Structure 1
Amino acid sequence: MDVERGRRPERPAIVVMGVSGSGKSTVGRALAERLGLEYAEGDEFHPPANIAKMEAGRPLNDEDRLPWLKAIAEWLGERLREGRGGVVSCSTLKRWYRDLLREADPGVWFLHLHVDQKAIVARVAARTGHFMPVSLVESQFAALEPLQPDEDGAVVSAAEPVAQIVAEAVGLLEAWQREG
């Protein structure tokens, strides 16, 4: 899928991406607050069947993810068309997932939270009240296709404190907006 590189909107649509446990929700909320943008939790776009499958320890396949990704793409596109921008946390592990999100509007910017697998296993094992079991961490890393040079976005270490991650993300986002 060939998606053109995006315009650089003043009120951006940002996808905070990474494997489960990388801090997408925490960073996404903090980034949205810092930028004065609406925040959406990507997990809330999953249909109940997807959540049940993950709770049972079975990884989602691309067919399972398609309606989820389309719903997120619609949310992003609506915010960009209205000039409101927004931040959503969404794993978007594969390139074609990100391409699908950009089809709604090529002005989407991705923030990839990078963390090593050992740290993620520890984080996911320590979480309570989340549907993602530690047994699926390996499948997340196996599916992960990092951002490519032709994709609008940046990679930051998720091993740093949230405030530092957000400050770095804001600097990288502003640099991207100035380039446009």
Structure 2
Amino acid sequence: MSMLKGVPPVVPVSRGPRLAGTAIGGVALLVATFAAMLVPAATGARAAIGTTKCTGSQTVTYTPGLTDQPREVTVSGTAPLLDCVSTSDPTIFQATSTFSATGTFSCTSGTRAGSRKITWNNGNTSTLSSTSTVSLNGAETVVLIKGVVVDGEFKGARWTGTFAMFGTKPLACLTTQGLAGVSGPLTLSIGSL
């Protein structure tokens, strides 16, 4: 084999280490990309500690009717929650709530225990335990509600609610039949309490 004068011979170089280095670099890049993908997922999982707040109106039925004298009453009702804001689940913007409870109370006092189910606009549901306390706030009769989400979306989160029964006591509270039902504004908050 003839060699050109002044030109050094071409020496074959093994490509093994270079290919191995490229392969290792590619694996490192893949691992880094996968790890970066996990960070938002973990952040999303922590979003459950945020809050979901809703406002709406609630219609309640009392059986037997509420009077000025405490007695055992079964309560049931529905509440369209047309204005919801959630930092826990941005797909939520409204819901429908139904509930039932039993306790001893009157038009102005008492405590009852029950459960509430919320159907969210995204198709998910939440089942909530609740304890409600009826009390006077100035001239207004309000129900303060608290409990825990026992199943479904936001399971394990605490929740509170406020239902304004009426501003002035209805005359039906003075009758033996009592107040059969009432409607009023409801606010509800889940999480970070």
- TM-score computed with the length of structure 2 as normaliser: 0.28
* Higher Cα Rg, which structure: 2
Larger RCO (CA within 8 A; separation ≥ 6): 1
Higher helix proportion (structure 1 or 2): 1
Structure 1-normalised TM-score? Answer: 0.29
More strand by share: 2
